[in-house]
Amino acid sequence: MKKEQVPQDEGNLSKSNMKELIYATDEKGNYTTALSTGWEPKTIALTNSIEEINERVAAAKNQVKNGEVSPIVYFMEFHKMDPVILSSYVGMWKWRVKRHFRPKIFARLSDKILQKYADTFAISIEELKNFKAE
C-alpha cells in the first residue's frame, strides 16, 4: 500500500480521536509509517458484530421478561460474554452456570453465589435479583 492510499475514513476510532499506525511505502518504494483514522470495511465489520450483540441482548431481555431465563443471561449478553467466559469469571463449572439460567433455580440461589455474579457484572445483588426487563 502506498502512503497516500492509507485510508482516512470516518470510523469507530475517529469518534474518539484515535488513530492507528499503518506501514506503507513512500514515493521511492521505501517503507514508512502513516496514521489512519479508520477504514470503511473495518467499520462495517465491527458494526456488524455490534449489531449481532445488540440483537442478542434484546432477545435475552425478552426471554427474561417472559420468564424463560434468569437475569444472569441478560447481563451475560450485555457484557459480551458467553457461558464459558462467564463461568471462568465466577469460578464455577459451565454446567452450573447454565443451570443458573433457569428462573426456578435462580430464585433459590444463595447470596454467596449471587454475589459472584453481581461482582462480575459490577452491580449489586438487589439489582441482579430485581432486574425487570422493561
Partner 1 sequence: METGFTHHQSAHCENGVASNLLKHNGLNISEPMVFGIGSGLFFVYLPFIKVNYAPAISYRPMPGQIFNKLAKRLGLKIKREKFSSTANAVKALDENLKNNIPSGLQVGVYNLTYFPDEYRFHFNAHNLVVYGKTATDYLISDPVMETVTTLTHDELNKVRFAKGAFAPRGQMYYPIRIPENVDLKGAIVKGIKNTCRDMLAPVPIIGVQGIRFVARKIRKWPIQHGTKKANHYLAQIVRMQEEIGTGGGGFRFIYAAFLQEAAVILADESLRELSLEMTAIGDLWRDFAVNASRVYKNRSTQEDVYNTLSDELLSIADKEEAFFKKLRDTIKKY
Residue appearing with cell numbers 433459590: 108
Q: How far is CA 83 from CA 34, 71, 111, in A?
A: 40, 14, 20
Residues in 11-30 at the binding interface with partner 1, rule: CB under 8 A: 12-13, 15-16, 18-25, 29-30
Residue from 26, 66, 67, 80 touching partner 1 (CB under 8 A): that is: 80
Q: Is 41 in the site for partner 1 (CB under 8 A)?
A: yes
Q: Is 35 in the site for partner 1 (CB under 8 A)?
A: yes
Site string for partner 1, 90-109 (x = CB under 8 A): --------------------
Q: Is 84 in the site for partner 1 (CB under 8 A)?
A: yes
DSSP one-letter string for 81-130: --HHHHHHHHTS-HHHHHHTTSHHHHHT--HHHHHHHHHHTTS-HHHHHT
Quote the CA–CA distance of 33 and 31 in Å, as a whole number. Answer: 7
Give contact residues for partner 1 (rule: CB under 8 A).
1, 12-13, 15-16, 18-25, 29-31, 33, 35, 39-42, 44-46, 48-50, 52-53, 79-82, 84-85, 88-89
